[in-house]
Chains A and B, each alone.
Chain A
């Protein structure tokens, strides 16, 4: 279902929602990040996409799973109550990052449902903002079979058509959020739809599709495991891991104990983002390492995204957002690797 809201009415909408935590993209130096709203604000027309992906709203970089405290007579109490129950509303999620949320759903809401992810997912409304122009040079959602107007993983998608937004409700949660203030929303007109179609067409054209048929291309990975491509592609890697930290779909994590006091013992069990590009990620305590070198780790990253996840979940674990390639200090570009796979004979 689609309605429209005037761009001028947007600050009023934020005001009506002010009992919730509202997050908006805001510029910080040379990058954008999600920040709590200061009240009556508009979405900045110059907004591109955030440097850190919105995965932090459902998979924080660090989160406490539970706290373990020692009581009398050596008894232990484990407090697993999750404190946060309030609703977070995040505006300005780019459609690629919405697609990433649908990937994370597949990982965390499967047969072993993750209660921490699940609760945050339920308590967050993700409001997308379609891209009328690609935010970055390395954007390539179309390579992944998606588009700058994809709705996957989102609750609402806003489409900027100049002086107004077309509001598309995707989930009931999204629809319910705005249902209290019908005065702010109007019916969509034929003219609105026409402008949208025009913008959509233009936008799709502006995005460089880097590989024509990704699923066909990645079938080649089945026979490329021992190729020297992985050696060459990974040579400049410095194992910094920024590719996976910035990736909206990467979800590997570590679990560790943080000791707050020794006697009586008070411990936080903490989950943090982890990184398949670090040697220690897979290293056994014996020192044996199943993926001991850069080439096996880089290959793992590419295969997980384009072969393994595709085989088990039917989707590529990449949204084409381009962050890994924009920010890699060694200049490694995931799309260039994919093009080399496409050309492999």
Chain B
């Protein structure tokens, strides 16, 4: 690895999969470094992706660290860089630097039930930790995923979610009813309320839009979850990834170095600026 922390390693896009179409399109990219092995990382960490000529964007790594032959990123077309990524093809070269940030304390969670709660593109960072938990399934209690999207068309990882049902409980939701939809209709916090009944010995891991995170946290608190049982990831805007450029700050924390993973016990002590 280059000693210059701003130096992007050249990476080849080896696979692109359409997840969601339309204005809020989502694609899943797999990459591998042009020179040498991919870096090692932990679930929850992020990488800074470069589209040369367009700039950089911080994206969470969505595969499990146990999968070593590629790095996977599921990306919502949203700003300048992510739009440019959506225009790229298999075999295109991008820049990747990282990994950045802390990770989910999976060692600490051993023996606990894990409830993954995601909304929209928030399933991407959850996917890495969920897949890692599945590899070490015997270390944990019951596993459950509660995932919601705006419409059935906005659901990511559709095929994998289908397969996932053979390994763990999966509850899906969409915001408004559609014909042929047999699962929950409503927002994610409401689905959490209707499906979660056992705070004892459980850990809830939330990822999604900031507003969803806030409501899910209060729902879990009502259900009797302690602050230490709730984890989330904070995805503020980032530029440097190394705690200098200033914009991802929450209080004295820089999300890029001290985050993005926080327990609610930690996060509630910081100013609510995320």
A284's contact among B8, B52, B53, B237, by CB below 8 Å, is which? B237
Chain B: minimal CB distance from A266 (Å): 9
Chain A: minimal CB distance from B201 (Å): 33
Which residues of chain B come closer than 8 Å to A281, judged between CB atoms? 237, 246-247
Chain B: minimal CB distance from A117 (Å): 9
11 contacts between A and B (CB under 8 A): A74-B93, A76-B52, A80-B7, A112-B244, A255-B56, A281-B246, A282-B247, A285-B79, A288-B210, A296-B273, A303-B251
Q: How far is the CA of A114 from the CA of B119 in the complex (A)?
A: 36
Q: How far is the CA of A70 from the CA of B92 in the complex (A)?
A: 12
**Are A255 and B245 in contact (CB-based, < 8 A)?**
yes
Chain B: minimal CB distance from A228 (Å): 16
Q: Which residue of B lies closest to A254 (CB)?
A: B239
Q: How far is the CA of A330 from the CA of B257 in the complex (A)?
A: 35
Q: How far is the CA of A115 from the CA of B243 in the complex (A)?
A: 14
**Are A66 and B7 in contact (CB-based, < 8 A)?**
yes
A78's contact among B7, B53, B210, by CB below 8 Å, is which? B7
Q: Contacts A112-B242, A112-B243, A252-B245 hold; do A312 and B52 have CB atoms under 8 A apart?
A: no
Residues of chain B at interface, number, CB under 8 A: 43
Q: How far is the CA of A308 from the CA of B271 in the complex (A)?
A: 11
Answer whether residue B160 sits at the interface, using C-beta atoms and an 8 A cutoff. no
3 closest A-B pairs by beta carbon, nearest first, are A252-B246, A285-B79, A112-B242
Q: Contacts A267-B52, A312-B252 hold; do A107 and B247 have CB atoms under 8 A apart?
A: no
Which residues of chain A come closer than 8 Å to B211, judged between CB atoms? 288
A253's contact among B50, B237, B244, B271, by CB below 8 Å, is which? B244
Chief secondary structure at chain A's binding surface:
mixed
Q: How far is the CA of A254 from the CA of B257 in the complex (A)?
A: 17
**Are B55 and A256 in contact (CB-based, < 8 A)?**
yes
Q: How far is the CA of A265 from the CA of B10 in the complex (A)?
A: 15
Q: Contacts A253-B244, A265-B52 hold; do A115 and B239 have CB atoms under 8 A apart?
A: no
**Are B236 and A267 in contact (CB-based, < 8 A)?**
no
Q: How many A-B residue pairs have CB under 8 A?
A: 114
**Are B244 and A304 in contact (CB-based, < 8 A)?**
no
Q: Contacts A290-B273, A312-B252 hold; do A254 and B245 have CB atoms under 8 A apart?
A: yes
Answer whether residue B215 sits at the interface, using C-beta atoms and an 8 A cutoff. no
Answer whether residue B25 sits at the interface, using C-beta atoms and an 8 A cutoff. no
Answer whether residue A259 sits at the interface, using C-beta atoms and an 8 A cutoff. yes
B244's contact among A65, A114, A311, by CB below 8 Å, is which? A114
Answer whether residue A225 sits at the interface, using C-beta atoms and an 8 A cutoff. yes
Chain A: minimal CB distance from B205 (Å): 21
Contact string, A65-84, partner B, CB cutoff 8 A, digits 1/0? Answer: 11010100011101010000
12 more A-B residue pairs beyond the given contacts A115-B4, A253-B239, A285-B78, with a C-beta to C-beta distance below 8 A: A66-B7, A76-B93, A112-B244, A259-B53, A276-B247, A281-B247, A282-B237, A284-B235, A285-B237, A286-B209, A308-B251, A309-B252
Chain B: minimal CB distance from A180 (Å): 33
Q: How far is the CA of A284 from the CA of B209 in the complex (A)?
A: 11
Contacting residues of chain A (94-140) with chain B, CB-CB under 8 angstroms: 107-108, 110, 112-115
Which residues of chain A come closer than 8 Å to B242, judged between CB atoms? 112, 114
Q: How far is the CA of A307 from the CA of B253 in the complex (A)?
A: 12
Which residues of chain A come closer than 8 Å to B247, judged between CB atoms? 252, 274, 276, 281-282
Contact string, B40-54, partner A, CB cutoff 8 A, digits 1/0? Answer: 000000000010111
Contact string, B1-43, partner A, CB cutoff 8 A, digits 1/0? Answer: 0111111101000000000000000000000000000000000
